[in-house]
Structure formats: structure tokens, C-alpha cells
Chains A and B, each alone.
Chain A
Amino acid sequence: MSKRSLVFSLALAMGFSVLVASGSALAQRIPPKDTLRFAGFSVKVLDPHFGGGGSTEFFQYKVYDSLFAFDENMVVQPQMAEKFTWNADKTKLTVTLRPGLKFHDGQPVRAADAVASLKRWSNGRRGTARIFKQFTKSIDVVDDKTLTWTLTEPFGMSMEVITSVRYPPAIIPERLAKTPRNKQIKDFTGSGPYVFLPDEYVPGKQLHFKKFEDYVPRSEPPSFTAGGKKVHVKKLEWKIMKDDATRVAALRTGEIDLIQEVPHALRKDLLTDPNVVLKPLRTGRQGLIFINHLAPPFDNKKARQALLWLISQDETLTAITGDPALYQTCPSVWTCASPYATDVASEAIMKQDLEKARQLMKEGGYNGQTIQVFQAGSTATFSNATVLAANLRKIGVKVQHQAMNRGAAIARRKNTVDPNKDPKKGWHIYVQATQEVTPSIPALMGLLQGDGCNKKGFYGWTCDERIGKLKVAFGQAKSEAERKKIAAELQKVVYDTVPYIQTGLYSNEAAYRSNVKGAVRAPSPIYWNIRKE
């Protein structure tokens, strides 16, 4: 054989072997039927009591369980608890754990674990945890299956607090719950429906879970985060994919089964794909426009109220989603899904009037300075800020809109420097978004604070003691009717003092292969009850 023929044969053989390997590679990249593989965001903090964002909460729902959970009507239901009773004056809650609960290491879940977990959670940085701690006199173990929570005084929202609609208190083994709050735990033994596989964990790449065979689900059907958490797959693979287009391509080729959230701009690619289903699996989001109360012109109430007349929720939501089916305008600061939703004092937010906005801005002392608007995060907040900036320009206000990453935005929003004197550091308006369920219970709305007097307290620095008083009054109300009345009163205060403005609700759909069934909608993506056909 000549040298040339030899080279040719070798090249041919190599090409053939690559082709053969390609066939097996194509088969290998499709997840097996008993494995649910989904594309999600990166998660930094796995410790459920430590801090972190939505991905931490998402991790938590897989690995950990909690004593109580909310159903889709926002009613608290027992989860790990078998039963619970209050004493006559509602200052002592006695909780009995369900029989058969086990941690992933095989140890039984005891009341001591729950007590230690609640104590660690209440020392954390979550807003609801702070309220829990504020009203807690003691948490005690009665016996292996029973614990008590003693309150300093009766508090009408106590069940909502101990349940916590965002970042519920995860129950972890007592040995781990003794870890100080500023130190993250490194052992992620929980008692939830999935077992975390630490050996397969690569930060920034993947987190894998397997079904917890000893998990005892409740008998009720799943509803939000409550009900039976039945797992129908052997393995759950969370693949971290940063790029939206890459996620969409991977779903279309079948390399993944599900995308948690599809950006609105990429929906069109999936709508026409017969193998893909689009459906919201997560409660919606609400755009929020925070206003700096320290800096002129927004230190004047009239200028803040001008923004209420300036904003059109419809216009903003159209810019964000591009599809009316994916949004809902809402007059209530508690969101329209809340049992406390009301339209009281909402005329300005529901009816755009640029002339009135111009007039109020003038009366509020606007003197031609450049308004610093900034935002971080998704394209949705970018669209929200862009529409706001455009409307401000329409009424003759100069605007500088800056988009930045989350780290830079968080650093800037805590800056109290006057943006009129130092426009690079200070700010007038900060645009962000929050989960639909976050503002649904007025007393627990951590983003609504009136403690900003003397440049202290929460960013935006709203200084209005009525907010704190009404939130406490709401929590202490004796009846639902009284709560609704206070919620309406508090909404009036919010529209008067304007700590922030809600710009309506919008959904991001999940996208999944058509053989994926049984997905449940919840405040955070939860993958129990889900199966592949």
C-alpha cells in the first residue's frame, strides 16, 4: 500500500468511527425515562437558613421539608405536622409531627430537630424570620414528636409566619442546626422528597438528586407547596445553563426535559414546536419601582405621586411580555392573587395621565435635574425601566437609565448619597421585580418599610410611621374582615406616601417536552408529582 493510500484509509476509518460514535452520542444525550433533566439557574448558597436568592429556595424545596405549607388559596396546611393546636389565648402552638418521617441518613425526624431548625432559621436574614423571632418567647421540645411555640403576645399572622410563603423554615438535623448562622452548613441532609447527591455536585455546572425512597408523602393531592409530594422519577438532574438561547436549543433537541423559565423574547421559537409545551409553573412576578425619598425632587410627595400618574401598567407589561395572555394589570399593592387585594385609592396607578404627572412633578420641585434610573437583572426589569424612562422624557424630565449586574446594583441601591450632587453613586429610581406571592400578606411584606427616617432603614428610605403601625395592626387583627379593612387602609397610605410603585403582574412560562406530565404550579419551581411518559 502506498503512503498516500495508507493516509486515505486511515482518514476514512477515523471518519467512520466518528460517525458511529455520533450515533451513540446522540442517544446518550437524551435523558432516560426515569430521569428528569432540567435547565436552571446557578445556585450559590445551599444552606436553607443562610441567605441567597430564589435558587436557594428552589434547592430547598427538593431536599428539605417544612412543618407547614401554603396551598393554592394561600391557606396554611400541615406538611410535616400531623396536627397542631392553639391554646385558648392563641399564645402557644403545639405541633405534633407525622409518624414515619425520616432524614436522608435514615435517622427519624424528631421534635428536637424541628426546634433547633426553627431557632437557626429565626436567626437568619429573612424578613419573615425576623417577625417570627420578634414574637417568639420560646420554642420547646415536649417529646420526640411534639414541640411548642410560645409567643410573647397573640399575633393573628402567626401561622403565616411559621409557614413563610418565601424561604419556609427548612427542618434539618439538630446536629447541623447548631451551626452558627453566619457559617454555612456543608452537609445537606434533609427529609424532603429528593436526596441531594454531593459527589455529583459541580458548582456552576450541575446538581443531581435521587428519589428519597423512605419519604412518606401526605395523602392529599398536591396544591402549591402543600399536599402530597410524590416523586415519579428516579433521578433529577439540574443542569446550570446561563444562556437563554442555549437552553431553548437544548430543549428542542431533547437534551433536557424542561426549562424553568423561558424569556419572553424566545417564546416564538417554542410555540411552533409540537414537542414542547409552554405553561407557567411558577407564580407570576411583579415589577417594582423603588423611589429614593431622600433626594429631590422625590423627597417631595407630589413628585412621587407624579410617577403614579405617569406609569401605565398596560404599556409596561406589553413591553415586558409582548402578549396580553401573560400579564395582568392590578390596582392592589398586595397583588390581585392576594385575599387582601383591593382597588382602594388606586385611580392614579390604573389611569395614566401625563399632564397630571407633569403638573405634579413641577409642584414637587423638579428643576431640570437628570433623574438617575437604574436596574439589574432580567430583560423584564430592563423593559420596565425603559418604559418608565421614556414616559419621564415625555413629560420633560431628563433621565439617565443604567442597566447593571446584580452585584453593582445591590451596592448602589444602599447608597444614600444625593444623586443630584453625585450622579455616579446616588440614585433616584431603582427598578426591580419580586415574586407575586411576596406582597400578598401585608404584615409580612419585607420590601414595604417606613423606617427610613434619618437615612436609616430599608433602601428607598421611606419615612412614614403609619406603615409599621398598620402592618403590626394587621398582624394583630382578630378577624379576616378587620384584616381586609387594615389592608385597604395600608394601601391608601402606600399610594399616598409612595415607597414604591407596582407595575403589574407578568408570568414567565416554563417550557417542557410534551412527554412530561403532572407539573404543579407553585411560588418556586417544585418537581414532585411530575413524571415522564
Chain B
Amino acid sequence: MFTYIVRRCFAAIPVMIVVGVFVFLLIHLTPGDPADILADEDATPAEIEQLRESLGLDKPLHTQFLIWSGNIATGDLGTSLLVSKPVTTLMAQRIEPTIFLAITTLTFAVFLGVPLGVMAAWKQGTWWDHAIMIFAVLGFSVPGFWLGFMFVSKFAVDWTIVPAQGFVSIREGFGTFLHHMILPTITLGSSYMALITRITRATVVEVLKEDYIRTAYAKGLPPMKVLFRHALQNSSIPIVTVIGIGFALLINGVVVIETVFNIPGMGNLTIEAVLDRDYPVVQGVILVFSGIYVLVNLVVDLSYSIFDPRVRH
């Protein structure tokens, strides 16, 4: 197992290199640069050029890339060209809301999506199944930003039972934290939950047709035990895979939901940095997001051995 983990970690390195090159080129080839943003509206072209030089943006692209990748190799993600703070500091200031939003969303989506999917499979063809599937299709189809604004309009502005925006750290109280996270979590988690529900249903429906399920029923096991111990456990690998893949969906959603609910997280930081052409921040944030994605998928792969002992052998 240890060798496997080490091998997988090394396999992530080329992925990160490709991501790094791709992100670097993409952001540098986008029109506009930080000097344009920093300069005043009536700055002369010569003044903007001087500013570009002082920021090191006049150097050839390959030189800039070598400097950046050299710094990355030593763990230095660089310094924001606009706010003059290290990228790691900016990320440290913003990572907490995103991590907690991801955790609450993941919890919400898994704890609701899996039982709903199992229920739909168990009651296949009944109105339970149809209702759950309509719910799932809606969850997947309704855009997050629209859902977010509707929630804010009703629950925050009209009924004033939850805040309209913002993030409160869990250190300031679990209740206050949860209170601020309810709407963003449901908004962000709805499509993720829908995806998990659909996959769970499809997989469990297949497993319920297996001979060993019929045998379990024949042995006189209660339906819930058959459903959760035999059917769900044997359906786990595709479900866990989707949870891992869906993490990318979560990262995409974070960018929008953090804006709608004014959560000062990594998604917000990414948008600002892209609009401001703050190259080191964009590169740093995307690299970290990619790293997290690779890591999550590694954890998913490792979890296969828990659900299916055959993988261990």
C-alpha cells in the first residue's frame, strides 16, 4: 500500500507541471497586464511601460516562466503584483471559508444524496422514485447563482431567519458559523447532491438485480440490512468515484457561490486575481486547486480498498 501511495504521489508531479505550464501561458496570453490596472486612467504610455519594467513584466515570457517555476520549486508562490503581499499569505487568509464551505457542502450532498439514491432504487418505478428523480434533475439544472439569490430574497430579506451574506469562522461559535453556512451550502450542494443521487440510484438498481441480493432475501434478512449492508456497500466504488470527480464541480461552484454570498474565500480570490491580471496569484491559486483535486482523487482511489477487499490483493 505504501509503495502504491508513493507511486501515486510521484505520478501527480507531471500533472502539476502540465497544469503549471498551461496556467502560466493562459493568463499571460490574456490581453492586459497588471501595469495597465495599476496605472492611473490618464497615465502616459511611457509611464505604463516604466511600471511594467519595475514589475518585471518586460522580460521575455520564457524568462518569466523560468523565474516563476524556479520559485515554485523552492515553495515560493510569489508575491501579488497588486496588493504586494505573498501569495501564500493571501491564500492563508482565504482558505478557511472555502475549506469549510467544501466540508459542509460535501456533508450535505453525501448525507442527503446517497440515502435519496438508495431510496429511489429500492422504490424503483414508484412515485417515490419519480419524485426523487425530478428533485435530482431540478437540483442539477437550476443555476446556483439563481438559486442563491432566490434563497437570499426569501430566507434572508423577507423572513430574516438567516444572514444574506458573509462568513463567520467556526472559532466564533458553531451556531453562528452554521447559520452563515446554511444558504451557501444548500445552494452549492444542490447540484452535487443531485449528481450523487442519480449515480447512487443507477448503481444500486444494478446491484439489486444480482444473485447474492436474491440469496440474502432468501436467507430472510430484513430489507434495510440487504439494502444498506449488501446492496449499498457493493455499489460504493462508483459512488465514491463520483464524489471525487464531483469535487471539481465543487471547485467551479465555489467561485460563483462565494460571490453571491460574499464569502471571502479562494473562489473570490481567483476571480479578483483573474480580472486584475495578478499573475502570481492566479497561478498560485490554480496550482493549489489542482493539487487538492489530485489529492482528493488519490484519497478516493485509496478508499476503494476499504469498500472492496479485492483491490487490496
Contact = CB atoms under 8 A, between A and B. Distances in A.
B233 interface: no
A167 interface: yes
B32 A407 contact: yes
A525 B306 CA distance: 59
Nearest to A273: B157
A447 B179 CA distance: 49
Given A28-B176, A253-B164, A242 B271 contact: yes
Contacts of B32: 405-411
A407 B160 contact: no
A311 to B, nearest CB: 22
A203 B30 contact: no
Contact of A411 (B33, B160, B275, B276): B33
A458 B43 CA distance: 9
Interface in A11-43: 17-18, 20-22, 24-26, 28-29, 42
B93 A205 contact: yes
A125 B39 contact: yes
A25 B167 CA distance: 11
B313 to A, nearest CB: 35
A40 to B, nearest CB: 12
Nearest to B179: A25
Contacts of A127: 40, 42
> How many B residues are at the interface, by size bracket?
35 or more
A259 B68 CA distance: 39
Interface string B272-287: 1001110000000000
A184 B84 contact: yes
B216 interface: no
A249 B40 contact: no
Interface in B20-68: 30-33, 36-45, 47-48, 50-51, 54
B287 to A, nearest CB: 19
B156 interface: yes
A126 interface: yes
Interface in A242-288: 242-243, 245-246, 249-250, 252-253, 255
Nearest to B149: A245
Given A249-B152, A252-B157, A253-B156, A167 B40 contact: yes
A242 B37 CA distance: 17
Nearest to A203: B83
A255 B30 contact: no
Contact of B160 (A126, A239, A253): A253
Interface stretch (B111-119, B218-226, B255-263): B255-263
B163 interface: yes
B31 A202 contact: no
B163 A253 contact: yes
B38 A51 contact: yes
A446 interface: yes
B264 interface: yes
A70 interface: no
A411 B175 contact: no
Given A44-B38, A242-B259, A20 B164 contact: no
A232 interface: no
Nearest to B34: A407
Interface in B243-277: 259-262, 264, 268-269, 271-272, 275-277
B187 to A, nearest CB: 13
A241 interface: yes
A24 B173 CA distance: 10
Contact of A51 (B43, B149, B268): B43
Interface string A203-241: 111100000000000000000000000000000000111
A407 B176 contact: no
Contacts of B214: none
A45 interface: yes
Contacts of A106: none
A21 B170 CA distance: 12
17 contacts: A21-B179, A25-B175, A26-B160, A29-B166, A44-B82, A124-B40, A186-B84, A204-B264, A204-B268, A239-B262, A242-B271, A249-B165, A250-B165, A253-B164, A406-B32, A407-B31, A407-B276
Given A127-B40, A246-B259, 12 more contacts: A21-B178, A25-B180, A29-B166, A51-B39, A184-B84, A205-B264, A242-B262, A245-B260, A246-B260, A250-B164, A255-B165, A458-B44
Interface of B: 30-33, 36-45, 47-48, 50-51, 54, 80, 82-85, 90, 93-94, 149, 152-153, 156-157, 160-166, 168, 173-176, 178-180, 259-262, 264, 268-269, 271-272, 275-277
